[in-house]
Amino acid sequence: MNVKVVKFGGSSLADAEHFAQVASIIKADPARRFVVASAPGKRSKDDIKVTDLFYECYEASRTHQNIDEIYSKIVDRYNAIIEGLGLDFDISGEFEYVKSALQHRSGRDFAASRGEYLNSLILAKYLKYDFVDAENVIFFKENGTLDAEKTNEAMRKELLQHKNAVIPGFYGVMPNGTIKTFSRGGSDITGSIVSRAVDADIYENWTDVSGCLMADPRIIDDPRPIKRVSYRELRELSYMGASVLHEDAIFPVKMANIPINIRNTNRPEDAGTMIVAENKEFDTDTVITGIAGRKGFSVITIENDMMNSEIGYGRRVLEVLENNEISFEHLPSGIDNMSVVVESKALDGRRDKVLAALNRAVHADSVTIEDGLALIATVGHGMVKYKGTAARVFNAISNAGINIRMIDQGSSEISIIVGVEEHDFDAALKAIYGEFVK
């Protein structure tokens, strides 16, 4: 039989009305057997996600403050859902247990994970589906990365025993038994893990937009939806800021060649975006598939005459970053200079140390760090087939009067990355979008 895994994001499970809508989507197709749930998200623009309330609780408890007030906000959110659905479900024991664990400082990730745990208990009860706790089936290694094979084996074995189940997103367990979460937005990864384990025909990821859009709808008005996109394109876009899907959610389904369909809970009739292994049907009209970007990067520039002829120069530079546990994003270089683009927050508290170490390692003419860089990726398999795509990106930006500070066309040829000043970010994104989408 056909099996679908469905993941619902925070905004899709923010209140009782959304729960009812989610249930109607699930019940409309018996193949939707396995459900991954997020914690209740924002009900309006100024609302607070339950996950953030849990982080606040953790902070309060850590600094020996009273958590009663924040915790009661969390309890009220869940009770409003239970009451709104008319459910006969008493989880006061769970609320007490979690509160007491928080007061005994049970860890930041444990606190955050309770958002999905409690929401999934309620959803399972409402749907009359089994509840399968992620802490028994998602395993992290000692170094904090996912133990993909152990997880897949355990998840597969467990889910074989359930016709229908709800699995909380976002967390799993460390080898010592403590709860660990993925990074923010990580319920998308859980959905992907479950899809691989049950060998799903499709992984439906239900959210509050009708698919992955060609650009961030918070910057571009009503951007065009993307019908089809490859795993690689989507990963480039999500890594660079298209926050509709966690960038690491691609890996488990990619291994099993399972397509992801991004759908809108509030508009289930919309087809959404299909994320597939290969995207041959790229949009010949727009050439590119999408644009995404992020602020918060710094450029470390090292200048030295004749750098290119000195063997081992690049390695010594990268070794300094490695010793400081800093990963780099891009490495544009010339004959007498080399730049390393890193996330600015990776330099927090280590700036002077890194500068000093670089000076020691390479005896450069100058080593500088400049902050305030935004990166924008223009992505698409179609780009290689059309001459002049890069020129169109650069012209669009310069015609908007914006200075390009860095260019990197990855060897993959599916993306062109430009760096601009952070204050030019929105305008540059609009300029590129306007160039390709008429």
Tell me the closest approach of the beta carbon of residue 230 to ligand ASP, in angstroms. Answer: 23
The Cα angle at residue 219 between residues 215 and 221, in degrees rounded to 5: 80
Query: Within 321-380, which residues bind ligand ADP (CB under 6 A)?
Result: none
Is 41 or 419 the residue whose CB approaches ligand ADP more closely?
Answer: 41
Binding to Mg ion by residue 172, rule CB under 5 A? no
Size of residue set near ligand ADP by CB under 6 A: 19
Is 30 or 217 the residue whose CB approaches ligand ADP more closely?
Answer: 217
Considering Cα of 191, then 196, then 199, then 203, what sign does the dihedral take?
positive
The tokens describing 349, both together, are 């508290």
Q: Are strands 366-379 and 415-421 parallel, antiparallel or unpaired?
A: antiparallel
Query: Within 383-402, which residues bind ligand ASP (CB under 6 A)?
Result: none
> Applying CB under 5 A, which part among 43-51, 143-151, 177-185, 217-225 lies near Mg ion?
177-185
Q: What are phi and psi of 252, to 5 degrees?
A: -60, -40
Is 41 or 332 the residue whose CB approaches ligand ADP more closely?
Answer: 41
Q: Which residue is nearest to ligand ADP (CB)?
A: 9
**DSSP-assigned states of every residue in 369-433:** EEEEEEEEEEE-GGGGGSTTHHHHHHHHHHHTT--EEEEEE-TTSSEEEEEEEGGGHHHHHHHHH
Which residues lie across from 401 on neighbouring strands? none
Q: Are 101 and 91 in contact (CB under 8 A)?
A: no
Query: End-to-end CA distance of the chain, in Å?
Result: 43
Is 30 or 217 the residue whose CB approaches Mg ion more closely?
Answer: 217
Looking at 12, 21, 51, 264, which residue binds ligand ASP (CB under 6 A)? Answer: 51
Which residues lie across from 173 on neighbouring strands? 139, 179
Is 185 or 211 the residue whose CB approaches Mg ion more closely?
Answer: 185
Binding to Mg ion by residue 115, rule CB under 5 A? no
Q: Is 331 helix (H, G, I), strand (E, B) or coil?
A: coil
Place of tokens 């800021």: 241
Tell me the closest approach of the beta carbon of residue 351 to Mg ion, in angstroms. Answer: 32
Q: Which residue is nearest to ligand ASP (CB)?
A: 187
Rounded distance between C-alpha atoms, residue 320 and residue 335, angstroms: 20
Is 11 or 120 the residue whose CB approaches ligand ADP more closely?
Answer: 11
Work out the number of other CB atoms within 10 angstroms of the CB of residue 51.
Answer: 24
Binding to ligand ASP by residue 187, rule CB under 6 A? yes
Amino acid identity at 1: M
> Applying CB under 6 A, which part among 20-28, 178-186, 249-257, 273-281 lies near ligand ASP?
178-186
Looking at 186, 191, 211, 380, which residue binds ligand ASP (CB under 6 A)? Answer: 186
Q: Provide the H-helix boundaries in 41-147.
A: 50-62, 68-84, 92-103, 108-127
Is 172 or 185 the residue whose CB approaches Mg ion more closely?
Answer: 185
Is 290 or 382 the residue whose CB approaches Mg ion more closely?
Answer: 290
Tell me the closest approach of the beta carbon of residue 392 to ligand ASP, in angstroms. Answer: 35
Looking at 115, 172, 185, 252, which residue binds Mg ion (CB under 5 A)? Answer: 185
Binding to ligand ASP by residue 115, rule CB under 6 A? yes
Closest CA to 190 of 209, 179, 176, 205: 205
Looking at 168, 185, 293, 380, which residue binds ligand ADP (CB under 6 A)? Answer: 185
> Applying CB under 6 A, which part among 57-65, 183-191, 234-242, 306-314 lies near ligand ASP?
183-191
Q: Is 308 left (phi over 0), alpha (psi -120 to 50) or beta?
A: alpha
Is 10 or 380 the residue whose CB approaches ligand ADP more closely?
Answer: 10
Q: Could you say which of Mg ion, ligand ADP, ligand ASP, none residue 216 binds, taking C-beta under 5 to 8 angstroms by partner kind?
A: ligand ADP
Q: Are 402 and 184 in contact (CB under 8 A)?
A: no
Element housing 12 (H / E): none
Residues that bind Mg ion in the complex, under the rule CB under 5 A: 9, 185
Residues that bind ligand ADP in the complex, under the rule CB under 6 A: 9-12, 38, 41, 185, 207-209, 212-213, 215-218, 242-244
Residues that bind ligand ASP in the complex, under the rule CB under 6 A: 9-10, 38-39, 49, 51, 115, 169-170, 184-188
